[in-house]
Amino acid sequence: MNAPVETPLRAQAAETFGMSPPIEPPHGLGLAELSLALGGFAIGTAEFAAMGILPEMAGDLHVTIPEAGHMISAYAAGVVVGAPLITVLLARMPRRALLIVLMLLYAIGNGATAIFHSYGFAFASRFIAGLPHGAYFGLAALAAAALVPPHKRGAAIGKVMLGLSVANVIGVPAATWLGQALGWQACFASVAVIALVTAGMIAYSVPTLPMSSKASPLTELGALGRPQVLLTLLASAVGFGGIFSVYSYVASTLTQVTHLPSYHVPWALALIGLGMILGNMACGWFADRWLKRTMLGMYAFTAVVLLVFVVAAPHLWLMLPVLFCVGFGSACTPAFQSRLMDVAGDAQSLAAALNHSAFNIANALGAWLGGIVIAAGFGWLATGWVGAILAALGIVVLMVSFSLDRRKARQAA
């Protein structure tokens, strides 16, 4: 049960990046995985800490808090644009070198945010900082998969994604405190330093990575013509949107419905990060054994948890374990990344990067739909209903995708 079943899709991808025999890192697998995860830590810290220091940014830049919030949108736009653009234009660039370049670009974007003290420059720098986000996570996941046997790739991807989870528990509170104590610029300056350290560690610990002999911009664009790639990305965007419909407004729900004092909210939110850490480890392990069941199971778990959220929110003793479960359910990236590696064929890099564009589309979709039901007067708890519906729709899309797999297998037989 531990080894993955060989399928035509796996065979087709056999020579592509991440599907060849494992490569031994020069200084050990652990250090290579830590280096890749550190980049995720830097990205997660900057992305989510920005939400916690919006009041300080707005005051210093002489804009309203909603206007300052547009910088978060600028970052998300950079992610959606940068993931396919960078992956396609730099398709022939050696993978390790590209990972280093992406971290250097992330350092430049966040460093610029810390240096320039005008709204226009800050807005532009957040867009620049978002450009390498999706491409880095996609390539880091493929790099992690290339360092281990195929039947361990889910766990390896989960370890890399732990950087993002740990950022929610440690990086975001620390950066928020730093931004409040020394000025919001210090938050982004610290992220720039971490990104520079990551670039150096990748250069030192990650080996030269294989590339498909067919690697080219045109080959990568071929991912957009594969129905299974598009269905997997759609399932990611819709299903993850359920998490963000709740997560985007969870702080307000805690203060308005649970009646938790605002100074305790960060500790409650840390439970989501802890859930993400355990979820990444568990999802990676299960995905290596039962990939499709893991994807369906995580979304089903999420739908149930978000329904329980509606009932649990008024009661602190129920709400805290629900927050942990929300984080756990959100950590199914290793499974989706593994699925994309199966169905992307020779367009591995673009498919992997687009997964994180889909994740940011889910962020926008969930926050938008959650905001609609709140503005319509249904209250903070209505976000749980929206989230459960989106998670259920994600299951429907996955079932359509898997049914196409079965039909293709019957035709091949």
List the one residue out of 82, 123, 84 whose CA is nearest residue 106: 82
Q: Confidence class of residue 210 from pLDDT cuts 50, 70 and 90?
A: low
Number of H helices, E strands in the chain: 18, 0
CB neighbourhood size of 207 (10 A) = 15
pLDDT per residue over 82-141, tens digit each? 888 888 888 778 889 999 999 999 999 999 999 987 888 988 999 999 999 988 988 888
Position 256: which residue type?
A: Q
Q: What are phi and psi of 27, to 5 degrees?
A: -125, 30
Q: Please check whether residue 340 is in contact with residue 232, taking contact to mean a CB–CB distance below 8 angstroms.
A: yes
Residue in this structure with the two tokens 């531990």, named with its chain if needed = 2
Direct distance between the N- and C-terminal alpha carbons of the chain, in angstroms, rounded to an integer:
23
pLDDT per position as a tens digit, 302-360? 999 999 999 999 999 999 999 999 989 888 878 888 888 788 776 677 777 788 788 87
Q: Is the pLDDT of residue 74 over 50?
A: yes
339-to-1, 296, 343 alpha-carbon distances in Å = 17, 12, 6
Angle at 212 between CA 136 and CA 131, to 5 degrees: 20
- What is the model's pTM? 0.75
Domains of the chain listed by start with CATH number? 17-211 (1.20.1250.20), 222-413 (1.20.1250.20)
What are the structure tokens assigned to 22, written together?
């494992």
Dig out the tokens for 15 from the structure: 């020579």
